[in-house]
Structure 1
């Protein structure tokens, strides 16, 4: 429950507890809080037990942690034999390399390499870019949108 609280946070909580409740009342407040947490845990355990008993013997291996979507998907992916077979036969890296090689080869065969743009340095960097040529207008109508 408190696995992610560091030493500095714990010291801060203790100092704030002493300042708010005082050293005389702090032990009683800690007892009340721990008792409350214990009652909540007992309530949740009894609710889980009631749900399991109402579901019947078909769901005797039911785990509430499986209701977490990440856990459910991870369990389904690791236990399903059909998915294991598909995953074993499919190599994503090989497929991506094949596709990227095909795209690179078709791009180099069909079009010449574009001319390099001139480097912009110094005061030219702050100037507005030149207006595009008339044949390079965009395909949508700015007034219609």
Structure 2
């Protein structure tokens, strides 16, 4: 999710130490951990509620598929084993070129 290096982590630690002080830093870190666990639990419960509400027809549904980037990746870039590439524009999808319609533009 986040790509934090050792130097950046150290700078964040020093800033937290200056802001909270050595007495309050462990309490603040524990409280932040509790909040993150509660948020993760809330997200997991929401995900399971959505999947349970959709019913058995959508048992393979993944909430990440609602992300527009993931939707495009799944429907345009994933290779289908059933279909053979056709010569021309369809064969360009293997080269990761986006679909293009001259008449639509």
**TM-score, structure 2 length as denominator?**
0.74
Tell me the number of residue pairs that the alignment of Structure 1 and Structure 2 aligns.
Answer: 89
2:3 maps to 1:10: no
Return the alpha-carbon distance in structure 1 between the equivalents of residues 75 and 57 of structure 2. 19
CA RMSD of aligned residues (A): 2.0
Separation in 1, partners of 2:64, 2:4: 23
The alignment partner of 2:60 has SS state of coil
Stretches of structure 1 that go unaligned for 5 or more consecutive residues are: 93-145
Q: Note the C-alpha offset of 1:15.
A: 0.5
**Which residue in the other structure is 1:89 paired with?**
87
Does 2:64 align with 1:65? yes
- Alpha-carbon offset, residue 79 of structure 1: 5.0
Could you say which residue in structure 1 is the equivalent of 2:36?
A: 37
The answer to whether structure 1 residue 50 and structure 2 residue 49 are counterparts is yes
Higher relative contact order (CA 8 A, sep 6+): 2
Measure the CA separation in 1 of the matches of 2:80 and 2:73. 10
Q: CA deviation at 1:80?
A: 5.0
CA distance in 2 between partners of 1:27 and 1:9 (Å)? 20
Measured after TM superposition, the shift of residue 74 of structure 1 is 1.9
**Greater C-alpha Rg:** 1
Question: Deviation string for 1:57-79 (max 9, x for gaps)?
Answer: 11110001111222212211225
Q: TM-score normalised to the size of structure 1?
A: 0.55
Q: Which runs of 5+ in 2 are unaligned?
A: 93-105
